[in-house]
Amino acid sequence: MSSLQSSDAQFQFCFFRDAQALGPGWSSSPKLQIANMWKEDSGSYWCEAQTMASKVLRSRRSQINVHRVPVADVSLETQPPGGQVMEGDRLVLICSVAMGTGDITFLWYKGAIGLNLQTKTQRSLTAEYEIPTARESDAEQYYCVAENGYGPRPSGLVSITVRIPVSRPILMLRAPRAQAVVGDVLKLHCEVLRGSHPILYWFYHEDVVLGSSSAPSGGGASFNLSLTAEHSGNYSCEANNGLGAQRSEEVTLNFTVPPGARSNHLTSRVIEGLLGTLGPATVALLFCYGLKRKIGRHSTRNPLRSLPSPVPQEFPYLNSPTPGQLQPIYENVNVVSGHEVYSLVYYNQPEQESAAAETLRTHMEDQVSLDIYSRLRKANITDVDYEDAM
């Protein structure tokens, strides 16, 4: 454009590209600024100036070619960050490039086979793909691709983990027989149908913790328990993977306790305590007392085995010329069972034994026996328990 010689002349200016006016059109400014040049801005540029007399002056044309910058440094990020999302929450995959000009096409892929999820073309360095509600099936590896005419540029792989709270666990009790008994090993198995691992399982008996076991992968966890008489009752288990704990329904276990297992256990402990506090003489009398009761009961149950009572007239040595010397008399009785033959021995007691001494000794024996029996009754030990313990 020729120079303007008249300083007082007023002009209007306009800029063109390929016959298309740019900017606001005709204006008093001799400059036009383009903030961002794109490939589409390539073309032939010139400007025109118009005088007050409507004379138009045109500049020479200038060819401007705009070259695109290829995309580079493509990356994929997630929201929430870290690639972990709760089941049911929103997941966003953000694909971005560090540089690149013009329209950029973004593509998102799922899995190793590269299943295309979505394609977007926009003049931006970033683009988003959204999963409104994350499900378990969305747990997979993802990547994105960006390109602006210079070839596709892929991002790295990003693993997405969908965290699932545990469902209500199921407790199973396994015994070695149909009716469990004391001494059997009971297997408690706890398992959830859904839930992200690892899962920690706790086992309870009447809400008292028995133990715990961790399951780093599927299959649940087990706990072995050796049954005692106190293990009847309700069992349950609890599962927790850090997203909330769930408790199973209670399972009731009733098993067979051998007869006398509880009473014999209690009786033996009480007897041990009594033997620790009673003196040797009293212990001896206690043994005699129990032996006496057993003999009496045995005689009642088996009358054929009872020994015949001594008959006074069968004591031929009652008036022995040597007073004070015991004279034995042996008597063979009939066979009671099999080849067993009982020989009965009677001893003639001295006539000089005082009747008062005999009465005193009998009274003391009965008094000690009564005192021991009273202690056993206070310890809630029946006659049968005492005799069995003896």
| Residues shown for the chain | 390
End-to-end CA distance of the chain: 134
pTM: 0.52
Amino acid at 32: L
**Residue 293's pLDDT is what?**
54
**Residue 362's pLDDT is what?**
54
Query: What is the bridge-based pairing of β-strands 245-247 and 233-240?
Result: antiparallel
How far is it, in rounded angstroms, from Cα 110 to Cα 76?
A: 12
Query: What is the bridge-based pairing of β-strands 84-86 and 161-163?
Result: parallel
**Residue 91's pLDDT is what?**
96
Of the candidates 25, 1, 165, which has an alpha carbon nearest to the alpha carbon of residue 88? Answer: 165
Residues 314 and 331 sit within 8 Å (Cβ to Cβ): yes
E strands in 155-207:
158-159, 161-163, 170-174, 185-191, 199-205
Which homologous superfamily is 72-163 in?
Answer: Immunoglobulins (2.60.40.10)
Which homologous superfamily is 11-67 in?
Answer: Immunoglobulins (2.60.40.10)
Residues 133 and 210 sit within 8 Å (Cβ to Cβ): no
> The domain 169-253 is classified under which CATH number: 2.60.40.10, 2.160.10.10, 2.102.10.10, 2.60.40.1080?
2.60.40.10
Q: Which residues of the chain have pLDDT under 70?
A: 1-9, 256, 258-390
Region of 279 (left: φ > 0; alpha: ψ -120 to 50; beta: rest) is beta
Is 169-253 in the same CATH topology as 11-67?
A: yes
Q: How many CA atoms lie within 13 A of 51 on its CB side?
A: 14
Long-range (24+ apart) CB contacts under 8 A made by 200-207 are: 200/239, 200/240, 200/241, 201/169, 201/237, 201/238, 201/239, 202/237, 202/238, 202/240, 203/235, 203/236, 203/237, 204/235, 204/236, 204/237, 204/238, 205/231, 205/233, 205/234, 205/235, 206/233, 206/234, 207/236
Task: List the alpha helices (DSSP H) in 60-201.
Answer: none
* C-beta atoms surrounding 55 within 10 Å: 9
Of the candidates 167, 170, 158, 155, which has an alpha carbon nearest to the alpha carbon of residue 80? Answer: 158
Residue 295: phi, psi to the nearest 5? -65, -40
Three-point CA angle 231, 233, 235, nearest 5°: 95
* C-beta atoms surrounding 249 within 10 Å: 11
**Residue 312's pLDDT is what?**
39
**Residue 239's pLDDT is what?**
96
Q: Where are the domains of the chain?
A: 11-67, 72-163, 169-253
Residue 65: phi, psi to the nearest 5? -110, 125
Question: Cis omega (within 30 of 0) on the bond before 198?
Answer: yes
pLDDT tens sequence across 54-89: 888 999 999 999 888 999 999 999 999 999 999 999
Q: Please give the structure tokens belonging to residue 370.
A: 């009564």
**Residue 296's pLDDT is what?**
52
**Residue 266's pLDDT is what?**
42
Of the candidates 162, 158, 133, 122, which has an alpha carbon nearest to the alpha carbon of residue 143? Answer: 158
Amino acid at 255: F
